[in-house]
Chain A
Amino acid sequence: MIEREDERLAPSTGVSFRLTRRALLVRAAALAAAWTIRPWPIGVPPAFGQAMDDPAMTQTLEAYADTLIPGEKRFPADRAIAGVVSGAGAVQAGAIEMLNFPPVGLQPALPGFALGINVLALLYAVTHRIVPDLTGPFVALDFASRTDLLVNILDRDGPGRAALQGLASVCFLAYHTAAYLPTAVAIRDRHPGLAAIGFPPPNTDGVWRFPEFSYRRVLAVAHPHSQCGNPA
């Protein structure tokens, strides 16, 4: 099983040396054995020890969302958002709010998602001769590398594909539907995604109605064998 996973990984990383899961496990086992003989203090890099309210976790998820639907930087030092476009992207459209929205049910899994993304980003950096940043491997990648990594994971059947596709779909939902808010409230507050797709506003009472909805013209001839709108 592990060998098959490694074989699937290898073509997508295109590396000259084989970084395999077995090799990592062997090294991890050696380290664990060494640790039991003589423990040393383990400082977990922030990107790998993320708790639910950890800003490093949020930044990782923001970068993930921004790679899918990019937006402009919120402030000049914004590292999570790459800033490759102007205008609002998934982050401004509430991707993080959506991921944390309790009815979506993803909140407890977010630290694990961030960890997984960072592990994959670390692997990507190592295999693409990029100096890895252990404080936030995914955020440290530039937009092109972030995109390349997500294409590998989401499109080419990489490890964890289904779960990360689910995470991505929630980011898209946040942008296209503002589904962490009542829609009338989202429209009132000028949600950028709904505005971008031209979602119409409700009437002043917050209810949608369209009294004008038809050209009110005969626009076609009925099928000769149809009866009362039914096929023969």
Chain B
Amino acid sequence: MANETTDVLIIGTGFGGSIPGYYLAAGGARVIMLERGPRLSSDQFTQSLQIGGFTRILDSIGGTGITVTAGNCVGGSSVTYYAASLRAPSFIFERRGTLGRRIWPASITRRSLDRWYRRVEDALPVSELSWNDVTYAGGVFAAACTRAGHTCQPVPVAVDLTRCTNCNWMHTGCRFDAKRSMLLNYIPGAEAYGAEIRPLHEVQAIQPAESAGYRYAVSYLQLDPNDYRVSVGSGLIEAKIVIVAAGAMGTPVILQRSAPFLGGMPPAVGRHFSANGDRVTMAALDERKVHDLLGLERAPGVAYDAFPIGKPITSMTFDYLDPSAPEFSRFALQQL
């Protein structure tokens, strides 16, 4: 029996997979996209903490001294993230390694990337927040920055501000279609050009293809929607091009599993990678001081008391992103 074939096989339907999926399908390629997680639409996103609900689409991966949260669904982490859409600071691309050489390729600078940032900001789209869109929490942070002699400004977010209800359930998926996940732009775009998305298809390994004209064969298991540990089927697809976009945590695992079939894998695979590196700290706010020192009052007699309200990320300060400061001492402080 002939193996199933395609031009492009994309592993993962998050940020990394959706965008090439769209462009390649629009360019005329046959595209199949395999997604380990389920496919949920906005009417299926529940504002609820119940296990078995949002836990279907949110992975928490525990390591030693680090925990990674990642989306597990069609749309990937774009469905569960907080949509802060920031361009990287220019100095990042000028970093030099221990040999004194520029780490990034010469063609990559903030300036050369700006046109691509603009393209994505148009496609999602990204909204620039005014102070009327900054939440109470973002406002307290901004006022505290001001009092401490720091600058602070609103954060651009990939959220349709006319639809957003500031419900603070972003991590369970946006039921109002306000957060601009891949489900609202690149994925429907890819499907309009014939790309095929298969949810609950967990890629196992990449191996050489058997059929002439095809380079790789990708094996997968079909998962039980109610218990991802159980497989209900399997298959193999041969492709000319394979794009591995299974996320910072998923991609190295697939590549390492494929090493025996591909004649090895560079030792750096699975090491020295960075996800969205944050250190999250809790702040306990004194209501009286929010009122007396920061001069804030959200209602008569209520200074703040608004932790559950609003988009999670709305303000931040760049004051510690100093290009002249030593490497690894530079950071942004963001209200979350």
Contacts and interface: CB of A to CB of B under 8 A. Distances in A.
A177 B153 contact: no
A210 B168 contact: yes
Nearest to B54: A179
A1 interface: no
Interface stretch (A23-31, A112-120, A131-139, A201-209): A201-209
A188 interface: no
B260 to A, nearest CB: 30
A202 to B, nearest CB: 7
Most buried by B among A101, A210, A228: A210
Interface in B29-81: 46-53, 55
B131 A219 contact: yes
B134 A207 contact: no
Contact of A184 (B47, B87, B306, B319): B47
Most buried by A among B55, B86, B165, B317: B165
A180 B315 CA distance: 34
Interface in B298-329: 298-299, 305-306, 308-310, 315, 317-319, 321
Contacts of B308: 198-200
A182 interface: yes
B133 A214 contact: yes
Interface string B165-185: 111110000010000000000
A138 to B, nearest CB: 26
Given A219-B139, A220-B146, A229-B128, A184 B48 contact: yes
A43 B139 CA distance: 66
B47 A216 contact: no
B49 A183 contact: yes
Interface string A171-193: 00100011111111000000000
Contacts of A211: 165-166
Most buried by A among B146, B153, B298: B153
B153 A232 contact: no
Nearest to A199: B308
Contacts of A232: 89-90
Contacts of A222: 151-153
A73 B156 CA distance: 51
A220 B50 contact: no
A45 to B, nearest CB: 33
A210 B167 contact: yes
B180 to A, nearest CB: 16
Contacts of B310: 210, 213-214
B105 to A, nearest CB: 21
Contacts of B152: 219-222
B143 interface: yes
A202 B318 contact: no
B50 A182 contact: yes
Given A216-B132, A223-B153, A230-B87, A210 B309 contact: yes
Contact of B321 (A101, A103, A209, A231): A231
Contacts of B317: 220, 223
Nearest to A170: B51
B135 interface: yes
A9 to B, nearest CB: 24
B86 A210 contact: no
Given A209-B166, A212-B298, A232-B89, A219 B146 contact: yes
A103 B90 contact: no
A75 interface: no
Interface string B90-115: 10000000000000000000000000
8 contacts: A182-B46, A213-B166, A213-B306, A213-B310, A222-B151, A222-B152, A229-B86, A231-B88
Closest 8 CB pairs of A and B: A103-B52, A220-B152, A209-B165, A222-B153, A219-B142, A213-B166, A220-B142, A231-B89
Interface of A: 101-104, 173, 177-184, 198-200, 202, 207-226, 228-232
